[in-house]
Structure 1
Amino acid sequence: MLKIFFYILIMSFCTTSHAHWDSAYFRKASDGFTSKSKWMSSIRDDVLLSEIAIPGTHDSAAYKGFVDSVATQTLNFDQQLEYGIRMFDIRVRHTSDRFALHHGTVFLDVMFGDFLNSVDRFLEKNPSETVIFRLKEEMKPNNNNTRSMSETLEYYISLHKDKYVKLTSLNTRLAEVRGKFAILSDGREFWDYGVSYWQANIQDEYHLKTNWDLYTKWEHVKEQLATATSGSSRTTYINYLSGSGGSFPYFVASGHSSPGTSAPRLSTGLTTPGWKYSYPDFPRVSCFIGICTIAFEGTNILTRDTINQYNRLGVNRTVGIIIADFPGESLISSIIANNKNLQK
């Protein structure tokens, strides 16, 4: 009877979810963001783009309340810019001589022109800043175009030529790109309009077969953080916190059992002390009579905590460009604070 009692007790720990709120992951614009519209103004003009720690978003246009497998962002473009995002992941489909923004096959109900209009307005008000975006063809063009993708991009740039700068290197000084936007070209159609995205050192191991691959994803993120902070100032490091496939993007970012900011944490199904060496960076929670649940933890939270450790240690090289789904206030702030040694 005693064995049955302990078996039931352990199984209850394995399946229990735990309420969890953390400011590294926000699912509402009202969750507590603060303005960071001029954070680049504190960085010296001579600093290279490759040296700067920059907050970014993955599938930046997927913010309009789509299903969980598609949604990746909380904030619209204006809000992302206001709250500190300076690197965007823009994926397009060429249709009717325009660029529609897509996440896979899903049209995100927003156009490339909408994005550039937001960027233009923001830079007009905040000339100390620069905006960088990856430009990638996400879906094959339809058959109603009368011009090439390059010609369509040329058209868009002509509408914002005062704010556009063509990068030839990621080792460009910040002074040369303040008040401008620049393209990281991911695809031959865009090569003439910016530096190659693939010049960067990139971690983007995005596919998870199941939720239990989250720890492996975190290990890739953690390794790239270490690589960046010990790397060359002339190398641009890009680190994607995002993941999908057998897991929802919100789960990878938060470790939650459902999308909400304060949703319960999901349990891994393991407990200590029996599995004390498993998932060492995941939290031990709800401890009772020496038994603790090992809960999942999202990449946003784990990354924020690791960057804060680097910030306290004062490492010379920054963590580079950090690209996240649903980044919250404290994640964005930790990345910006990582630039302490680059300030005026």
Structure 2
Amino acid sequence: MQTTAKSVLYRVYALLLFMAFSHGKDLFNDNGNLQLPDSYNIGWMEAIKDDKFLSDITIPGTHDTMALYGGPLAECQAWNLNDQLRAGIRYLDLRIFALENKLYIMHGVVYQHTSFIDVLDTIRAFLSEFPSEMVLVRVKPDLFDKDNVEKMVEKIVSNDKNVWVKSVMPTMGKARGKIVFVQKSSFKLGVPLLETDTKGDYEVTHIADKENTIDKCLTQAAEDTGRDKIVLSYSSGTGVGTFWGMFLTPKKVSEKIDPWLDQYLRRFFNDHPGSCLGVIAMDFPGIDLIQEVIQFNK
């Protein structure tokens, strides 16, 4: 009985701490209008030493970066690409469909009102303004004619000296001002990618189970970073398509997970100083959650 009472008190105390730290912070954001404080450090990678490899950096990213359209079942982000970059996002997850001679950005069967060329133009404009930064880009061929996506991407970027398509891991100094592609399975341009998630981890039927999955993935990430691969973990998820979680859209999952993730990262940072967690790809992150990820590089 005494042990049970202590457990209850501990949970209440943890909840109070969570509420105190989270109050007033921008952790989950579904507002499409980005508002940055005047003191916000957009070019946060300027502080990273030139000799540090990208695989040694903790990087905030977005899952299904361009999924702004399609309703609650499909939408994973609220900010447009330029706003995501200005907020500190440095890993982009692009789903691309090749049709004739053009590459379209998709989320499943939902067209996201832009093309791959438009995305590249936005990134280039950002890097021109903030040359201290670099942007990781993952391309996932989607729908039909998947084999043609890589060939078309390679043709588009072939003469661009500010695009990194080699498999060798660059240092921050070599990557500044560049778009760095990451490769996995159906897309072979760029540096290798290692995902901590296993098949089905994106399916969420209970939020507590998703928290345990993220814990497992980030613990593994801390062990695997610093090698010849970019390590990627997801905090995103959806219950759409499952029975028990059918009402857990990406937004509803993020509304619960993003504040929890902020507290998790705080504890991890204090318990494991000097750790690197690789890339954390999120849905609907707020600027304070993004800053908590960046904090690992200090």
Q: TM-score range by the shorter chain?
A: 0.7 to 0.9
2:283 alignment partner in structure 1: 325
CA distance in structure 2 between the aligned counterparts of 1:309 and 1:33, rounded to whole angstroms: 26
Alignment partner of 2:164: what SS?
A: coil
Once the two structures are superposed, residues 123-182 of structure 1 have per-residue CA deviations (whole angstroms, 9 ceiling, x without a partner) of 11111111001111121139xxxx933332123214x7032112313x431111111011
CA distance in structure 2 between the aligned counterparts of 1:105 and 1:187, rounded to whole angstroms: 21
Check whether the contact 2:58–2:293 (CA below 8 A) recurs between aligned residues.
yes
2:252 alignment partner in structure 1: 251
Amino acid paired to 1:237: V
Matches within 5 A, 1:1-344: 23-30=26-33, 32-34=35-37, 35-64=40-69, 66-141=70-145, 148-158=148-158, 161-169=160-168, 171-188=169-186, 190-191=187-188, 193-197=189-193, 200-203=194-197, 205-208=201-204, 210=205, 213-234=206-227, 236-244=230-238, 245=240, 246=246, 247-254=248-255, 298-313=256-271, 315-340=273-298
* Identity fraction in percent: 26
Q: CA deviation at 1:230?
A: 4.3
Q: CA deviation at 1:232?
A: 4.7
Segments of 4+ in structure 1 off by > 6 A?
Answer: none
CA distance in structure 1 between the aligned counterparts of 2:138 and 2:150, rounded to whole angstroms: 15
Q: CA deviation at 1:22?
A: 5.1
Q: CA deviation at 1:306?
A: 1.3
Check whether the contact 1:136–1:187 (CA below 8 A) recurs between aligned residues.
no
Alignment partner of 2:259: what SS?
A: helix
Amino acid paired to 2:119: F
Q: CA deviation at 1:116?
A: 0.4
TM-score, structure 2 as length reference: 0.81
Segments of structure 1 that go 5 or more residues without pairing to the other structure are 1-19, 255-297
Alignment partner of 2:183: what SS?
A: strand
Q: What is the total number of aligned residue pairs between the two structures?
A: 264
CA distance in structure 2 between the aligned counterparts of 1:105 and 1:331, rounded to whole angstroms: 30
With over 3 angstroms needed to count, the CA separation of the structure-2 counterparts of 1:122 and 1:72, relative to structure 1, is same
CA distance in structure 2 between the aligned counterparts of 1:106 and 1:118, rounded to whole angstroms: 21
2:12 alignment partner in structure 1: none
Segments of structure 2 that go 5 or more residues without pairing to the other structure are 1-22, 241-245
Alignment partner of 2:293: what SS?
A: helix
Greater percentage in strand: 1
- Kindly report the root-mean-square deviation, in angstroms, between the aligned alpha carbons of the 2 structures: 2.2
Alignment partner of 1:338: what SS?
A: helix
With over 3 angstroms needed to count, the CA separation of the structure-2 counterparts of 1:102 and 1:217, relative to structure 1, is same
Larger gyration radius, structure 1 or structure 2: 1
Check whether the contact 2:251–2:283 (CA below 8 A) recurs between aligned residues.
yes
Q: CA deviation at 1:21?
A: 6.9
Alignment partner of 1:316: what SS?
A: coil
With over 3 angstroms needed to count, the CA separation of the structure-2 counterparts of 1:239 and 1:232, relative to structure 1, is closer
Check whether the contact 2:34–2:79 (CA below 8 A) recurs between aligned residues.
no
